[in-house]
Amino acid sequence: MSDKEKDLGTLAQGRKHGEYGEGRSSAEEAFIASEKQFRELAEHMQDVLFYALLTPSLRFEYVSPSVERVVGYNPKDFYANPSVLVDIVHSDDRPIVERELQSPGSLDSPFLSRWVRKDGQMIWVEATFSYIRDENGSALAVEGVARDVTARRQAEESLRRSEARNRMLLEAAPEGIVTVDKNGKIALVNHALERLFGYSREELLGQPLELLMPERFRDTHSRQRGKFFDSPHIRPMGLDIPLVGRRKDGSEFPADISLTHVDMEEGRFSIGYVIDITPRKQAEEALSKARDLIVELSTPVLPVRTHLLLAPLIGVLDAPRVQQLSRQLLEAIRSHRAKVVVVDLTGVPYLDLAVAREVTRIFKSAQLLGAVVILTGMSSEFTRSLVENGILLEGITVLGDLQSGVEEAEQLLAGGGRGKGIGGALRVVAPTPTA
């Protein structure tokens, strides 16, 4: 039994036998009751309460029973061998505790360290303590509370790993990511966004999001941002205004941006995923030019000689090809001052009636420009179909094959031919039947 316990027992015994005067009895009873209440509280606490003398050497005066649950050693172990306190500290943390015992006051309270239980399991313990000093400032005793915070430490470590993993994923993302608060201030960015816009993270945090876009779009975007925060939903941007990013150096680039949101304790945040689509736009432009070139090559208009053009068509004639034919043919007539145009349909397997009507309008436009149109390679069956559907080839010479068409054109340019020459009224010549 400790001296304090002996003192309490003696005090209680004296009160029982009426050894103290009536004037001291009330104070003594209050002291006993207070100590009893303290012990009952201490013995039911999960934390470990301790009180130890430091001079002439470490000696525990009180250790609460909860110590056995925390470290596996009971209070008697500490009373009998105070060095147990040092022995249970993890070897990596032990030098710190030893220095503190030698020079009390070097550690800040609370102090977190690792302890090793009697069964070998490592735990994290947070100790809050204070020193009792004499008039010279020398530490005479220490009292405090030790708490097992292993679960909390594990949760913190798990959270730390989760945050580190999320940060790694954020920084590894190929697209730029920016998080904005409800006031439109930038709260978070990743490395990709820094590279994309040329700003450092420190330059962006706390700045308005509109810093990253051209001035001509800022007012409109500010209004739309307010609407998004009022009614957030996952959606692509660029439905109302073109998406253009503005770099730190003032240069601009086309962007593709998707929006989402997250609600946190601090409030609602908008998350934007930004991609520079310059390569995509360049590819689309190149593809468009390639398509135009293919269409142009599929509707060639060739100058055979002065005043004579040849348009040998191959494949299915659809609306885009017909439009291209119209542009090329009429432009070639103007630029080459053509007087005769031979259009060969031998390589066209089928001509839709709607397309045929458009082709005849092209021929009429060519005639208005002063050119004679000779049509070759069209089957008699299709010619009859045109007539039956009211598509008339008035003023157009129709011949069976390309060679006949070129010969006719040469004669027209020479002043002869089946018609009356250039400027005369041409008649339709029945085509040679084809297989």
Measured N-to-C along each axis, helices 3-16 and 22-43 cross at an angle, to the nearest 10 degrees, of 140
Tokens of 290: 């390639």
Closest CA to 183 of 206, 215, 152, 153: 206
Q: How many domains does the chain have?
A: 3
| Residue 334 shares a structural domain with residue 205 | no
Angle at Cα 297 formed by Cα 296 and Cα 301, nearest 5°? 80
| Residue 13 shares a structural domain with residue 123 | yes
| Residue 263 shares a structural domain with residue 303 | no
Q: What is the CATH number of the domain that holds 251?
A: 3.30.450.20
Residue 420 counted as domain residue: no
Residue 67 counted as domain residue: yes
Q: What is the CATH number of the domain that holds 297?
A: 3.30.750.24
Residue 424 counted as domain residue: no
Q: What is the pLDDT along the chain (435 residues), one digit of tens a residue?
A: 444 444 433 333 443 344 444 445 666 666 566 566 666 666 667 899 999 999 999 999 999 999 999 999 999 999 999 999 999 999 999 999 999 988 888 888 889 999 999 999 999 999 999 999 999 999 999 999 999 999 999 999 998 998 889 889 889 999 999 999 988 899 999 999 999 999 999 999 999 999 999 998 888 877 777 676 666 665 555 454 568 999 999 999 999 888 888 888 888 899 999 999 999 888 888 888 877 666 656 668 889 889 999 988 888 888 888 888 888 899 999 999 999 999 998 888 877 788 888 888 899 999 999 999 998 988 777 777 777 777 777 788 888 888 999 999 999 998 855 544 444 333 334 344 444
Name residues whose C-beta falls within 8 Å of residue 408's C-beta, 6 or more positions apart in sequence.
Answer: 374, 397, 399, 417, 418
| Residue 233 shares a structural domain with residue 296 | no
| Residue 55 shares a structural domain with residue 108 | yes
pTM for this structure?
A: 0.47
What whole-number distance in Å separates Cα of residue 435 and Cα of residue 431? Answer: 12
Domain span including residue 234: 173-276
**Residue after which a domain boundary falls, among 259, 276, 293:** 276
| Residue 239 shares a structural domain with residue 143 | no
Residue 392 counted as domain residue: yes
